[in-house]
Every structure is written in structure tokens, then in C-alpha cells.
Structure 1
Amino acid sequence: MQTYKVAIVGTGGIAAVHADNLARTGGRAELVAACDVDQGRLDDFAGKHGIPATYLTLAELLAGAKPDIVHLCTPPMFHIDQAIECLEAGVHVLSEKPPALSLADFDRLETAQATGGAQFSCVFQHRFGDASAAARHLIGGSEFGRPLVARCDTLWYRPDSYWDLPWRGTWNAEGGGPTMGHGIHQFDLLLHLMGPWEEVTAVAGRQARATSTEDLSAALVRFRSGAVATMINSLLSPRETSDIRIDCEYATVELSHLYGYSMDNWTVTGAPGHEDEVTAAWTSRPLEQGSGHSAQFLAMYDALDAGRPLPAGADSARQTLELAAAIYASAFTGQPVRRGQIVPGHPFYGGMDGDGLGTRVLDATALNRTAVDTAV
């Protein structure tokens, strides 16, 4: 097993999660460098995590540290250009979500990967761990049966002060609100467990928060299998939970947690007459490793060792990003959106705001609500 040289770009809050989890990989990774535009923050981060080399620009890091893998922990608007710079230099990329602010930007990765011979992966850590692997194996199989109906809710709470950072809550910097920046982890896991989606009908609104984007979206998603799922992405929910429930022919699979899960967060229930078979199938699978960044890091190293495509690579990450784009497109046009419909020339291909349509719809809704409140 190879030990990989890793560098972290961006030393804000999520970077500490990466550094801490890299230390839990049993020597599979060596954290050789960090990069940030803020020298003081960079020095503090490097000192805390014992990082030997620091750089103020990505170009200097790539030339000086020569890492095998770069972890992008910068704000969302920087992800795609930084990923392309790394890939063209032949360095693998693990990018925090969202991987890009639009499908148009994301599709630039294909040329960059071919140019440098390196691979892109997105941080979708909920896919990893034993319980997720067990559920993915069993859903659609003979013991659990095919999936029929599901729900996927990211019900979180963020006060107005959350948007004090100037890049938060803007289409140009984050690409959207909770659909892009928060719920994307949970519905990525839903897609990982249930397979390709086919059509979505959605609504989105700015109910209460000081943001330019939505603070709530809700969607009805139909999958290729015929299954149907409801989905809510909210920053308005005081009792925070992250929930997935998938009802199959013979079993219900449930996951309830907040920002990460262990085995205890999963519940599997057999249909009447199938209890023993369902329980036996679930407990026969390995159920020890929890989810989290370190689980994804280890899966990435195993793939590189074996010469396999990276897990959570560009193709599957694009499916998740396309669903986010379709939710916005449906919400702001009032029409269902099918997978594959958002292509070059479509207003939502170049951005989740749909060439300003999203802003106009959200602003009009907010004005109408204000008018009603004033009248009352």
C-alpha cells in the first residue's frame, strides 16, 4: 500500500476536519503542505497540524510540494478553477462540495482530467462506511426487494448571522442555498443507494433568512427504477435532523442523524413475514466502519493503489450536481425537469440561478409576502 503525499488548499473550518481525518488513515497519507491567502491563518493551521511547508498560492504549492493529492477546502466559487489547475498538473483532486457552481463549469473537468492524467473526486463522505455499503448492496436485491418510495430531508437551522460572511448566500459564490450547500450531501447518498433519477418537480423559496438565494426547497423525484422520493432542504428548522427512509418491497431502511452517522443511526425493519430474512441479510454484512471523511480517504487510496477510478468521481458527482440544477430549474420555471434536459444553451446549464430567473422569482415571492403581511 502506497503512502500518498497530500496537500490542503484553504485552511478554514472544514480544513481542520480534513487534517484530523488524514491523521486517522493509519499512515496511508502524509500531509506535506498547506495553502491559504491569509498568512496568519495559514501559519496557525500548519503549526497545529504539524505541516512542514506552506504556500500563499496554489501554483507555488504544486511546484514546490509536488503532492499526489490536493484537498480543496476553499469557498465554493474557487473549487472548479483550482481543481482544473491541479488536474492539468497531473495531481489528483478531492474537492469539498459543491464540486462546481454550474454544470457548464463542471463539464470542464473532462478535458482537464485527460490533459493531466489525474482524477477528480468530490467529498461525499456519507456514501462511505459499512452501513452505506450494506444498504446499497441489499436495496434492489432479493432479500430487501426493489425500492418503491423514499424521503430525504435535510432539516437544518442557520440564523441570519450565518450569512455575515460576504460570500455566503449568493449565486456567484455558493451557487445556491441549502439545495447546493447543505442538502447535497444527503440527496447524494439517496442517489448512491437508489440509483439514477429521471424526473423532478420542485419548489423553492426565501421564507425567512437574509440571503439572496433560497432558504428552502422541496422536490418530488422519480427514479429510473420507478421509485418516487420526496426531498426537503431547509435552513429554517430549529430541531435539526438529516433523514433518509427507503421503503422496499420487503424492508424499510432508515438513517437519522445530523452531520455524520454511526451504525446506531441506521434502522432496518422487515415487512410482515420477512423479518427474519431481512435481519439476517443486514447482519450478515460488515457493520463496523462508520461514515466520514477518513472512510472516503481510505477508499480513495485503495482505488489509486489498484488503478481503479476514484470513488465519488466526476461521473457520479455530476449526477448529483445535475439533480441540484434540475431542482432549481423546476422550482423557478414551474415545470418538471428530466435528467439530461439541462444541456448547453439551457438557461440553467450555466448557473443555478437560470440567468437571473431564480433571483426574480424569489424577489417577487418575497415582495408578495410582504404586501400580504402589510395588508393584514
Structure 2
Amino acid sequence: MRILVVGGGAIGLLSARLLAEAGADVCLLDQGGLGGESSWAGGGIVSPLYPWRYSPAVTALAHWSQDFYPQLAARLLGDTGIDPEVYVTGLYWLDLEDEATALAWAAREQRSLLAVSIEAVHQAVPVLGSGYSRALHMPNVANVRNPRLIKALRAALLNMPTVTIHEQCAVTGFIQEGGRICGVRTEAGDLRADRVVVAAGAWSGELLAGLGIALPVEPVKGQMILYKCAESFLPSMVLAKGRYAIPRRDGHILIGSTLEHAGFDKAPTENALDSLKASAVELLPALAEAVPVGHWAGLRPGSPEGIPFIGAVPGFEGLWLNCGHYRNGLVLAPASCQLLADLMLGRQPIIDPAPYAPRGRLT
């Protein structure tokens, strides 16, 4: 089987890897460089920001992925020598309005989430700002260093003889014969395949519009800033008022993120920079004396309720989707891609695929 995967972010890369491991010939296309969009720009928390606020469909993918990430990272390190740095730091949520809902969700889902005193938080995270009164703690939450994850996945694919990669190769349309999708058109020429997977993130809706399919996936801009501190500066992730601080092992601290509906505009703005710096100082006052070493923007693939589209497109034989993960692409990638591979290869799916099926969700 020859499969074309359109989109070289974390979803496309991991989909390609799993399909190739199962014996398919895979051609991976990206309009830019691999992983250069939201997969690179995100924070990499291996959890939805507020997991109890999502539907069971998102929760099912998140739980499978969270449990699988350490194994994925270890295998990529062994295969490529590149460590994606899955870093278990835990996460503190501060002054939540729906604390009772969160604790009830954790009890129901059997996830470790505990109410802790603010004094205990300050003991664990001495650099945390004052003014907070309550906290919830999930000790086993990790973050993945997403640029390194992308680098490892790319290296793994380059080592696979049945995988071909085309970067800087924008898809301009689909090849359709007798109601079947049998390839794509690009500026460099046509590429044919038995099946085509659209994993193009925020651009997925634009691609499918050419077939007259209304896929409700749209770009949602997010901006972040980066600081460089001592390695021991921040021992845990912290989140308050919708903003978070994420420590990397080498002392880099990510602060994010904004939520903006600005089309495909990815330009960082001074307003966002000022807002993010204010959030950084509120969370971690010592950063008032620090200068950000990075500021960027990315485009999330926004979708209704953040539930991705995974599966075959009805009425267009040969066309498959793995897109629309909104704010949780890195979190959900392992499960989403495993589910796609299971469905495409006729295997028993890891979870019930019904909530993600394109059928009934497209017009």
C-alpha cells in the first residue's frame, strides 16, 4: 500500500512512522519544513491545560498518550540518539474556580490530582509569586521538548527505507478519479497513492475546501515567550489565570500562551509580549529582572470542542483525516496516530473510534 501523508507536524510524522512500520510505502509532504508550525511552537505539556473541562473523547486520547509517551521517547532515543526529553515535573494549578469539578473528574478517571496547601506549593516552588491561596497538584504530568521530538521523529523516518519526505512541497489539490482520491497535486507535479491522509493542522480546512468539503478546522494564533534561567530555577510546571510556566531540563522557561483569532497571521505582537511578560512576573517574580530570549507565534488547528477528526472521509474513498487537535496536538499525537493506523490497516482500534469519525461531522 502506498500512502501519502499531507502535513509534517507531530501528527503527520508519527502517522507516517506507524504506517511505515506496518509495511506501507509512505510519502510525507509539507508545505514548509517538517514540524515548523504548531508542533514546534507549542509548549509541550503532556496534558490538556484543564483536562476536566474536555469531553470523554479528548480524555480517552489524552490518557492513552500520557501513559505511552515515556515509551515513545525511549524508543526514539534508542533509534536516533536524539532525546525528546519527556520531563516529569508535575503541574500545579493555582486558584481554580472549578476545583471541585476537577477533583471529581480525577476521582472518576482514577488520575492522581490532589488539593494541597499554598504553603506546600511555595516549599516545592520557592520562586512562585505571592497572592495565591489554593492549589491542585498532579505529580506525574510531564512535558516534552517538542522541537527535539520533531527532530527525533524526522531522523527516525529518514532511517526508514519505505519513507520518502518532500519538504517545501505545497499541495495545491487532489487527484480524484471516479469519486476516489488517488493522489495530490503539488507545484512540483502530481503524486499518486492508494490513500491520502490529511494531517495539515490549521491548513487542513483550506485543503479540503477544494473538494467542496466543509471541515471546521481553523487557525487559532498562540504566542509564547522564552527565558533562560538556572537549571534548578523552576522545579515544576505552574498554571494560573490561563497562563503557564514550563521548565525544560536545561533551565529554559516557556511562558504561554495567548489565544487569538487572527486568520493565518503568525506575526508576534508587542501587546502579546507585554501581556506574557506580565504573566511571567506574576507567576515567577524573579523574571522581572530577566529579558526574554525568544518570542514567537504559532497557529493551532481549532476545532469544535477540540475533538480531532480521525478516520475515512465518507464519499471520498481513499481520503483520510488526522487533524483538528486544537490546543492538544502534542498531547494527543501518540493515541491519534495509533488510532489512525489501526483504522487504515483494519486492526482492532485502541479506543472507540466513533467520536472522531468524520462521518456526520462534515458538510
Structure 1 length normalisation: TM-score? Answer: 0.28
Structure 2 length normalisation: TM-score? Answer: 0.29
